[in-house]
Structure 1
């Protein structure tokens, strides 16, 4: 790989701590701490993303590159560091946080001028590890690598996975926080993004009243990642905040489109660029349920449930607005922008749903149709993805009960079947109001409704196989997630098997996942 062109612009632009001390501590008035990866004696590569490597300018992999992929024996031009940020966690101010398991290598630029930040996750402790060891286990690393790639191929803004490697050591984790810690295989994932800047970076500087650094950070972010913003003075920061709101709302709509539930939408897990970031206790939704949360830590309040993600993103933006107030200084503008966020989100959300149903746009009474659909989905416990795959070919379905039973997680009695029949009649009547041809309607559905989703039970099976030294499932899932709008493996286009309903890692996960 081409490692000579990796740069560290963040180190060059902001105050930092250069002591390279991994012991946890507060680092006031700085945005980063230099830190060395811990190093591993017996690493082993599991998978390397050749396509991504060439796309971002690192070029092809050779055997000597394994050292870089786990943070060993790094070239002199790479000065590694972790960043400090703050955040609200489950609605409460948590103070200083930071990259507890992530260490940044720097930034690479490809021949087209695209810049990409590269970091290791699981390569050792940093000052922000909060008494943890900074390592990562295999299961969480596999989940992050595969899911970030799955989101990319679904067309959703996200961080991405460059590689996944065994570290050659075991790590002790209490997976469900049940007082039963166990040894698990350690791993490192190398992940990439245009930038890993979060709401929390801005919150930290604001909370510490480091307004000069806050302004410098905001200017840096606008210059490097929001080139469309050309205004000056206070208006520049207003335009920046508006752009972040729009990117965030658009991301939430995309999560709703595919049924993605993040599971832990703390402000420190919110990307300033509107990327899906930090894949922990996430899940793709099986049976449709607005109250579904995959995170055991989120019970019983379900703050981060599927149906609340739009609302929570708005709450998080309020916290970002508070952090940026020192630069914007216009309370009315911030209130109006945030109050209009819901209007923008729901308009975009309904437009997205109309495409999933093959409608030519949102017409009068469609909101009532969508509400009735949500109620039907929850009552009949229908699989979210498989429902849309089925109605795409509804004209060829002769036995509704039989076909919909295949995608339901409950028994469809006669009363439920009648409700289903009534809904399908209403749906077909609505399709007749379209001003587009049927082929165009079907294409809308095909382009917006994936045939394959990386469900948790598939990840569970893949992790079990990798633990046993097998990679067949990994290879199949990689091919399937690269082509999510095609049915390459029919066995993956089925509802979650019942034997996985109550297995940890398939239905519910913890923040340790």
Structure 2
């Protein structure tokens, strides 16, 4: 790989604390602290994303690159660092936070001029680790490596993972925070993004009244990541906020489209570029449930449940608006932008549902149709992905009971069967109102509804296999997630097996990593 081409423009732009002391501390008036990865004596490469490496400008993997992927023996041109940010966690102000186990290697520019930041995750403690060890375990690393790649191929904006490496050391974790710590295999991934800037970076500078640095940071972000903004003065920052609002709403609609539940939508986990970032206790949805949260830490309030993600994203944007107010100084603009966010989100959401159902336009009765559909899905506990896959193979001659019999997580009595039949008949009648052909509708549905999603039980099986020293499932899943709109493996197109309903680390997840 072409490691020598990695540079550190962020450090050059914002001089900070150049101490290598990894002890936890506040770092006022700076945005980062330089820190070196811990280094590991016996790393073992599990997966490498060759396509991504070529795309971002690092080139092909060679054996000597393993040292860099594990954070060992860094070239002299690389000054690694961790950034400081703040955030609201589960609705409460948490003060200064930061990259507790993420260390930035820097930025690389490919032949077409595209910039990509490169970051180790799990490579050791930083000044922002809050008494933690900065390590990551295999299970969380596999989950992030695979899910970020899955989201990319689904067409959802996301960070991406370059490599997955076992560190050769064991890490102690209490997976469910219930007083049962155990040794787990340690791992490190390298993840990439155009930028890892978060809402929390701006919240920190504003909370510390570092308004000059806040403005410099906003200018840096606009100049490097928002080429569509050509205005100046106060309008530039208004356009900046409006762009973040739109990108965030677009992302939320994509999460709803594929059935992704993030699980920890704290403001420090929100990207200003509208990327899915920080894959913790996430889940793809099996049975449709607006109240579903995969995160045990989010119980019983379910703040970050599937159906609340649009609302929470708006709440998070309110916090960003407060942080950017010193630059914008226009309360009415901010209020209007945030109030309009809901309108923009729901319009995009409903158009997305139209595509999933194969409707060419949104008609006046469709909102009621969607409400009835949601109620049916929840009552019958129908599998979200498989339901739409079945719709694509539907006709007036279809035996509805047989066609949908294996996609519910509960037995369907006669009353529930009748409700399903009535809905499907109403759907077919609605399809007849289209101004496009049936083939065009099916094409639209096929491009919108994935045939494969990376379900938690599949991830669980993959992690168990790697723990046992083999990677057959990993290779199979990688091929499947690269082709989510094709049914390469029919055995994956089934409901979650009941054996996995109550397994820790599969059906129940926490923020532990």
Q: Same fold (TM over 0.5)?
A: yes
Q: Is the 8 A contact 2:291 2:306 kept in 1?
A: yes
SS in 1 for 2:176: coil
Q: Is the 8 A contact 2:298 2:304 kept in 1?
A: yes
SS in 1 for 2:302: coil
Deviations 1:390-445, CA, capped at 9 Å, x for gaps: 01111176332233220000011000011011101110110000000110000010
Work out the CA distance in 2 between the residues paired with 1:469 and 1:506: 20
Deviations 1:118-156, CA, capped at 9 Å, x for gaps: 000000000000000000000000000000000000011
Aligned to 2:194: 194
SS in 2 for 1:340: helix
Aligned to 1:299: 299
Q: Is the 8 A contact 1:160 1:193 kept in 2?
A: yes
In the alignment, structure 1 residue 13 sits paired with structure 2 residue 23? no
RMSD over aligned CA atoms reads 0.7
SS in 1 for 2:119: strand
Aligned to 1:258: 258
Q: Is the 8 A contact 1:39 1:123 kept in 2?
A: yes
Moved over 6 A (4+): none
In the alignment, structure 1 residue 208 sits paired with structure 2 residue 208? yes
Q: Is the 8 A contact 1:397 1:403 kept in 2?
A: no
Deviations 1:334-370, CA, capped at 9 Å, x for gaps: 0000001000000000000000000001111000000
In the alignment, structure 1 residue 118 sits paired with structure 2 residue 145? no
After superposition, residues 29-108 of structure 1 pair within 5 angstroms as 29-108=29-108
Work out the CA distance in 1 between the residues paired with 2:131 and 2:281: 21
Q: How far did 1:232 drift?
A: 0.3
Aligned to 1:409: 409
In the alignment, structure 1 residue 363 sits paired with structure 2 residue 366? no
Work out the CA distance in 2 between the residues paired with 1:300 and 1:254: 26
Aligned to 2:503: 503
Q: Is the 8 A contact 2:106 2:118 kept in 1?
A: yes
Q: Is the 8 A contact 2:396 2:428 kept in 1?
A: no
After superposition, residues 336-347 of structure 1 pair within 5 angstroms as 336-347=336-347
Work out the CA distance in 1 between the residues paired with 2:405 and 2:501: 17
Aligned to 1:352: 352
Work out the CA distance in 2 between the residues paired with 1:104 and 1:397: 58
Aligned to 2:134: 134
Work out the CA distance in 2 between the residues paired with 1:337 and 1:418: 44
Work out the CA distance in 1 between the residues paired with 2:363 and 2:113: 43
Work out the CA distance in 2 between the residues paired with 1:398 and 1:28: 66
- In the alignment, structure 2 segments of 5+ residues that lack a partner are none
Work out the CA distance in 2 between the residues paired with 1:132 and 1:397: 60
Q: How far did 1:376 drift?
A: 0.2
TM-score by length of 2: 0.99
Work out the CA distance in 2 between the residues paired with 1:72 and 1:4: 15
Work out the CA distance in 2 between the residues paired with 1:240 and 1:278: 23
Aligned to 1:244: 244
Work out the CA distance in 2 between the residues paired with 1:246 and 1:502: 38
- In the alignment, structure 1 segments of 5+ residues that lack a partner are none
Work out the CA distance in 1 between the residues paired with 2:172 and 2:446: 44
Work out the CA distance in 2 between the residues paired with 1:380 and 1:353: 19
Work out the CA distance in 2 between the residues paired with 1:508 and 1:197: 30
Q: Is the 8 A contact 1:401 1:412 kept in 2?
A: no
Q: How far did 1:222 drift?
A: 0.1
Aligned to 2:319: 319
Q: How far did 1:506 drift?
A: 1.6
After superposition, residues 390-405 of structure 1 pair within 5 angstroms as 390-395=390-395, 398-405=398-405
Q: How far did 1:505 drift?
A: 1.8
Aligned to 1:459: 459
Deviations 1:311-331, CA, capped at 9 Å, x for gaps: 000000000000000000000
Aligned to 1:477: 477
